[in-house]
């Protein structure tokens, strides 16, 4: 390398990185040596765990240390296809190593040479074998690594290329400034930053790796929380329109509702109103299990806002939901002269133009629509409140963008975000750390509860009978499939909505009107299908998970989920929440189409609890936090280590974050704040690592 290596050096100058690899790295957001250093392995092969070959179980992934006994020579199968077999042994027995299309190995695997072979043990009729194991020569005096890092690569990048590129930037580890002050590092038994990073790439052992991860995750979480805090502060610096309850006749709004609010709803309303009365912008999360009645709470805030002479908007992740909200709000609010308009892309252009004009001249009070439509070139005359439904679909970043958009004449809108994804407390801090939380922990009275059954495919006959009976009694049923249509790579045994609907329509459910709903349909088609189902023109709706979010059809009493093993627990819980919304008893039938013991256990959790928070805890326990981060979709905050780290670190960083915030000017913390800025910037630009 001609120039001195710094973390800003472009990886273009690293030996072995040409045009194509540079482009591939760049696509993953890796452009500088510093980026590369932060590109941690996604996994490690524990090749140091060596077993005697006769002790390895069938299917076990392990290492064996073997000596070559004899080789069979390369056999050409046809064209360029060849197979090469070699018999190896250790003190416990013999086995075969099999390689396809690697004829060159014949030169290396000669009699008497020793290797560490890492792969999956297969025990077949003719004995033991490993197909295409990874080989490392055993040489006296050279210690083989216990862990071998595995990077996330796709062609033209290879493990080897990434590993060697990383190798050339590792010297940078010695020059990195510390983010955490030494005192905090020592108190929490953390490594130096550079040491941690080096170990993540080149772990010397199990404990060292664990410590390195802990160090990086700890730092990341501390930085993340400071970043959230800064964001919150920048929001709070803005002024909002303080609303008043005076002359709003809020009582008449509550009296006009077709039901009495639950205790939890009343509490939430109180908390929200207290926020709205201030001239600091509200940033509140309304979290409540499916069916807990978040919409009515939101409607009360919308009412207050409009009665104060301001406009409001309500955003939903799908057009179906937007339609539904429009209907509900009309029911709740139009008797008070409040004008709500829909704004979705499925509307004719002239219609959209009319609504937008009404929003900018103030004649429309509330806009209900999808996120994009309300934020893109929509001008409000005086927006004072934005409600965002099903928050888990929107990231913190988008929320911030929305806030920036809503800023007008120095005033920011209050923001209420609603989520039905129950998130364990520990995680909600990570995901919603910048929000105050109101919890709806009580379902409206009179709910019949949902009975959940786990059945297998062979019980289909009974399920069909059950659905027929329900439909005859005036109920409606959802049937959810994991796939839209069948194609060549449809895994065997997985149901596809299109073909299954057809099969049922022409078979067991002949004569019963059915609908089909999936994500590839046009928004207008989807709305139509949903409207038909809601109105009872169809009685059975076969769909993919697009119905997951927020859809409210009180007459629906049956939810059948095909291949339930394919879904996460939280998702199953969301789907289950589509029924049990009326006064009739509802049933959720989870149909197992395969899966192992572990998936059976997961489904049993669904059967045994209806509490969304418990389900989420179980999900977290069984799958780890990775999936929760995953649900937030790509482009959201990127954690290089935390997903694989330990969320208990949230509690451990608590006091540090407090301490740092109470002593902001202390130069000891300057690197921490710098890192928080970088974190926000990085996430603002959508750049992600790992």
Residues that bind Mg ion (CB under 5 A): 550
C-beta of 395 vs 422, nearer to ligand ADP: 422
User: Is 457 strand, coil or helix?
Assistant: helix
SS (H, E, C) 588-642: EEEEECCCCHHHHHHHHHHHHCCCHHHHHHHHHHHHCCHHHHHHCCCCCCCCCCC
What single-letter DSSP state applies at residue 393?
A: G
C-beta of 38 vs 550, nearer to Mg ion: 550
Q: Does 574 bind ligand ADP (CB under 6 A)?
A: no
Q: Which of 288, 358, 568, 625 binds ligand ADP (CB under 6 A)?
A: 288
- Of 2-10, 93-101, 255-263, 308-316: span binding ligand ADP (CB under 6 A): 255-263
- Of 100-108, 198-206, 289-297, 461-469: span binding ligand ADP (CB under 6 A): 289-297
What is the nearest approach in angstroms of Mg ion to the Cβ of residue 550?
4
C-beta of 261 vs 531, nearer to ligand ADP: 261
Whether the Cβ atoms of residue 321 and residue 389 lie closer than 8 Å to each other = yes
User: Is 32 strand, coil or helix?
Assistant: strand
Which has the closest alpha carbon to 86: 69, 67, 104, 71? 71
Give the β-pairing of 414-419 and 239-240: unpaired
Taking the C-alpha atoms of residue 544 and residue 517, their distance in angstroms, rounded to an integer, is: 7
Whether the Cβ atoms of residue 424 and residue 251 lie closer than 8 Å to each other = no
C-beta of 550 vs 580, nearer to Mg ion: 550
User: Is 213 strand, coil or helix?
Assistant: helix
- Of 95-103, 139-147, 283-291, 401-409: span binding ligand ADP (CB under 6 A): 283-291
- CA gyration radius, the chain: 29
What is the nearest approach in angstroms of ligand ADP to the Cβ of residue 614?
17
C-beta of 550 vs 625, nearer to Mg ion: 550
Binding partner of residue 261 among ligand ADP, Mg ion, none, CB cut-off 5 to 8 Å per kind: ligand ADP
Binding partner of residue 296 among ligand ADP, Mg ion, none, CB cut-off 5 to 8 Å per kind: ligand ADP
What is the nearest approach in angstroms of ligand ADP to the Cβ of residue 317?
12
Q: How many residues bind ligand ADP (CB under 6 A)?
A: 18
Give the β-pairing of 383-388 and 311-316: parallel
Alpha carbon of 189 to those of 116, 204, 211, 214, 639: distances in Å? 35, 18, 9, 10, 21
Whether the Cβ atoms of residue 218 and residue 190 lie closer than 8 Å to each other = yes
Which has the closest alpha carbon to 71: 36, 31, 115? 115
Q: Does 554 bind ligand ADP (CB under 6 A)?
A: yes
Q: Which of 216, 219, 241, 265 binds ligand ADP (CB under 6 A)?
A: 265
Q: Which of 47, 201, 294, 412 binds ligand ADP (CB under 6 A)?
A: 294
- Of 258-266, 423-431, 590-598, 677-685: span binding ligand ADP (CB under 6 A): 258-266
Taking the C-alpha atoms of residue 255 and residue 558, their distance in angstroms, rounded to an integer, is: 32
Q: Which of 181, 291, 424, 515 binds ligand ADP (CB under 6 A)?
A: 291
Tell me which residue has its CB nearest to ligand ADP: 293
For residues 401 to 440, the per-residue mask of contacts with ligand ADP, x marking binding by CB under 6 A and - elsewhere, is -------------------x--------------------
SS (H, E, C) 473-503: CCCEEEEECCECCCCCCCCCCCCEHHHHHHH
Q: Does 296 bind ligand ADP (CB under 6 A)?
A: yes
Q: Which of 215, 262, 586, 690 binds ligand ADP (CB under 6 A)?
A: 262
The enclosing H or E element of 124 equals: strand 114-124
Which has the closest alpha carbon to 164: 134, 203, 201? 201
Q: Does 259 bind ligand ADP (CB under 6 A)?
A: yes
Helices 396-406 and 206-237, packing angle to 10 deg: 10
What is the nearest approach in angstroms of ligand ADP to the Cβ of residue 256?
13
Which has the closest alpha carbon to 415: 267, 245, 244, 285? 285
Taking the C-alpha atoms of residue 88 and residue 94, their distance in angstroms, rounded to an integer, is: 6
Binding partner of residue 581 among ligand ADP, Mg ion, none, CB cut-off 5 to 8 Å per kind: ligand ADP
Alpha carbon of 681 to those of 364, 440, 686: distances in Å? 36, 34, 9
C-beta of 197 vs 551, nearer to Mg ion: 551
Q: Does 581 bind ligand ADP (CB under 6 A)?
A: yes
What is the nearest approach in angstroms of ligand ADP to the Cβ of residue 300?
11
- Of 23-31, 168-176, 292-300, 584-592: span binding ligand ADP (CB under 6 A): 292-300
Which has the closest alpha carbon to 590: 580, 600, 578? 600
Q: Which of 34, 48, 444, 624 binds ligand ADP (CB under 6 A)?
A: 444
Binding partner of residue 428 among Mg ion, ligand ADP, none, CB cut-off 5 to 8 Å per kind: none
C-beta of 356 vs 576, nearer to ligand ADP: 576
- Of 61-69, 268-276, 284-292, 647-655: span binding ligand ADP (CB under 6 A): 284-292
Which has the closest alpha carbon to 638: 13, 152, 17? 152
What is the nearest approach in angstroms of Mg ion to the Cβ of residue 325?
8
Binding stretches for ligand ADP (CB under 6 A) = 259, 261-262, 265, 288, 290-296, 420, 444, 550, 552, 554, 581
């Amino acid at each position: 390398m001609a120039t001195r290596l710094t973390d800003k050096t472009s990886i273009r100058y690293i030996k072995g990185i040409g045009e194509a690899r540079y482009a591939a790295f760049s696509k993953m957001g890796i452009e500088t040596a510093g980026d590369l250093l932060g590109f941690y392995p996604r996994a490690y092969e524990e090749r140091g765990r060596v077993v005697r070959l006769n002790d390895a179980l069938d299917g076990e992934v392990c290492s064996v240390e073997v000596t070559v006994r004899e080789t069979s020579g390369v056999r050409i199968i046809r064209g360029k296809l060849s197979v090469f077999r070699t018999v190896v042994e250790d003190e416990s027995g013999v086995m075969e190593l099999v390689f396809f299309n690697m004829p060159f190995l014949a030169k290396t695997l000669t009699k008497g040479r020793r290797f560490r072979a890492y792969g999956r043990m297969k025990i077949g009729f003719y004995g033991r074998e490993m197909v295409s194991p990874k080989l490392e020569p055993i040489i006296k005096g050279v210690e083989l690594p216990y862990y071998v890092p595995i990077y996330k690569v796709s062609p033209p990048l290879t493990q080897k290329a990434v590993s060697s590129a990383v190798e050339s930037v590792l010297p940078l580890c010695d020059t990195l400034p510390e983010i955490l002050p030494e005192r905090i590092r020592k108190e929490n038994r953390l490594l130096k930053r550079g040491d941690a990073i080096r170990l993540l790439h080149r772990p010397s052992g199990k404990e060292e790796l664990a410590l390195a991860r802990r160090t990086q995750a700890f730092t990341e979480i501390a930085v993340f929380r400071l970043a959230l805090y800064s964001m919150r502060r920048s929001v709070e610096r803005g002024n909002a329109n303080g609303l008043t309850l005076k002359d709003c006749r809020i009582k008449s709004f509550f009296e006009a509702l077709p039901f009495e609010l639950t205790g939890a709803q009343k509490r939430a309303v109180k908390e929200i109103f207290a926020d709205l009365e201030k001239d600091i912008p509200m940033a509140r999360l309304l979290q409540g299990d499916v069916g807990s009645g978040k919409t009515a709470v939101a409607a009360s805030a919308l009412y207050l806002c409009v009665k104060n002479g301001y406009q409001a908007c309500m955003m939903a992740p799908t057009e179906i939901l937007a339609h539904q909200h429009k209907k509900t709000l009309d029911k709740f609010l139009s008797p008070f002269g409040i004008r709500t308009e829909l704004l979705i892309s499925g509307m004719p252009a002239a219609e959209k133009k009319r609504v937008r004009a009404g929003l900018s001249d103030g004649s429309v009070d509330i806009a209900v629509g999808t996120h994009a439509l309300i934020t893109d070139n929509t001008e409000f005359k005086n927006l004072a409140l934005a409600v965002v439904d099903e928050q888990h679909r929107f990231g913190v970043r988008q929320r911030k963008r929305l806030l920036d958009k809503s800023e007008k004449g120095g005033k920011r809108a209050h923001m209420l975000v609603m989520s039905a994804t129950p998130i364990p407390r520990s995680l909600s801090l990570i995901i919603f750390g910048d929000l105050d939380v109101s919890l709806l922990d009580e379902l409206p009275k009179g709910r019949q509860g949902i009975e959940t059954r786990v059945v297998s495919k062979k019980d289909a006959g009974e399920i069909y009978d059950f659905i027929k009976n329900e439909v005859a009694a005036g109920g409606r049923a959802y049937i959810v499939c994991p796939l839209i249509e069948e194609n060549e790579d449809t895994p065997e045994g997985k149901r596809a909505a299109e073909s299954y609907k057809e099969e049922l329509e022409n078979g067991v459910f002949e004569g019963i009107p059915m609908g089909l709903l999936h994500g590839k349909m046009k928004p207008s088609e989807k709305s139509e299908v949903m409207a038909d189902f809601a109105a009872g023109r169809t009685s059975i709706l076969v769909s993919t998970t697009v119905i997951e979010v927020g859809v409210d059809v009180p007459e629906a009493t049956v939810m059948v989920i095909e291949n339930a093993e394919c879904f996460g627990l939280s998702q199953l819980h969301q789907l289950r929440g589509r029924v049990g919304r009326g006064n009739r008893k509802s049933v959720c039938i989870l149909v197992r189409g395969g899966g192992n013991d572990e998936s059976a256990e997961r489904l049993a959790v669904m059967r045994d609890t209806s509490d969304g928070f418990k389900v989420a805890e179980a999900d977290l326990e069984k799958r780890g936090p990775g999936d929760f981060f995953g649900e937030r979709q790509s482009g959201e905050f990127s954690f290089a280590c935390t997903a694989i780290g330990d969320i208990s670190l949230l509690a451990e960083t608590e006091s540090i974050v407090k301490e740092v915030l109470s002593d902001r000017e202390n130069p000891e913390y300057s690197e921490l704040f710098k890192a928080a800025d970088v974190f926000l910037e990085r996430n603002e630009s959508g750049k992600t690592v790992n």
